[in-house]
Structure 1
């Protein structure tokens, strides 16, 4: 699917590839290309094994497929592949629950497509701290949305 490939193109450079478990910027145990291992912040990483690149790719594809399913359930209007990809990366990064609760979703479902980029840019905070990496990622999603 084109939208999954495009979403992975956004995600990979921002997530980076880590074959050993690590804590993401807010403390969640993570591995591969941003695959969440647990929702318990700062959990002991020794309980998870390292992975190889093939497993990291498999985890990313599963995570992206889950995000795609969420996008397709939450968005009820037509989207281009690029728009869908931007939302898939957003759901992968921010979570489907956040997409569901967002003004971004409501704006899109009202067919106010041109308002979506500004809504993406509201999601640049982690634990109330504005992160430059999230600013760049939301900009990449906005650019994908507009392409």
Structure 2
């Protein structure tokens, strides 16, 4: 069982935004820390900028929410609570990636694992069952454990498969390209086809 590495954690955190105070996410659901969903039963101001400060709940709203849900905490939370939430939230994505069935004898590098955890953290575990992700994972040449060398054509196929697998949610192009770059890190192939171009 692999764990999330620093590269993956840093990538996720850099895209999630961060706030110790409760804020509305892009749908308006109250959120805290690095995108930790408090509940999906109430809505507040939607975040349209990606900056949590632009959709903060008032202290009265936060206290009322905390009380109505019996949270045992209110806004602002402590840094250690934010760290705990992040660990708990990423654990679901880590577990989903660890459950992937890879071709016999193949294993993911730490960077590949982290890139898939970031994708899953953001898109949910269902993203791992898309045809593009399944096709990429079935291609033995994608792995560092592949007993190479890879031909130029195989390297090109790897690049194309990675681009397609990470072409998920057009609104998050920068994040998806960073995940694809991380997936290719240290491999003989590169992320030369930006997501959504194939």
| TM-score bracket for the superposition, by shorter chain length | 0.7 to 0.9
- Which structure has the highest helix share of the two? 1
TM-score by length of 1: 0.80
CA RMSD of aligned residues (A): 2.3
Q: Residue 22 of structure 1 corresponds to which residue in structure 2?
A: 23
Distance apart, 1:75 and its partner CA: 4.2
Unaligned runs of 5+ in 2: 45-56, 67-73, 143-157, 186-198
The CA distance in 2 between the partners of 1:31 and 1:75, in whole Å, is 33
TM-score by length of 2: 0.61
Is it true that 1:139 corresponds to 2:165 in the alignment? no
Greater relative contact order, per chain length (Cα 8 Å cut-off, separation 6+): 1
Q: Residue 124 of structure 1 corresponds to which residue in structure 2?
A: 169
Q: Based on CA coordinates, which of the two structures has the bigger radius of gyration?
A: 2
Tell me the matched-pair count: 138
The CA distance in 1 between the partners of 2:173 and 2:86, in whole Å, is 22
Moved over 6 A (4+): none
CA deviation vs aligned residue, 1:69-115 (integer Å, no higher than 9, x gap): 11111342421110000000111111112333x22431233126320
The CA distance in 1 between the partners of 2:117 and 2:169, in whole Å, is 16
Unaligned runs of 5+ in 1: 126-130
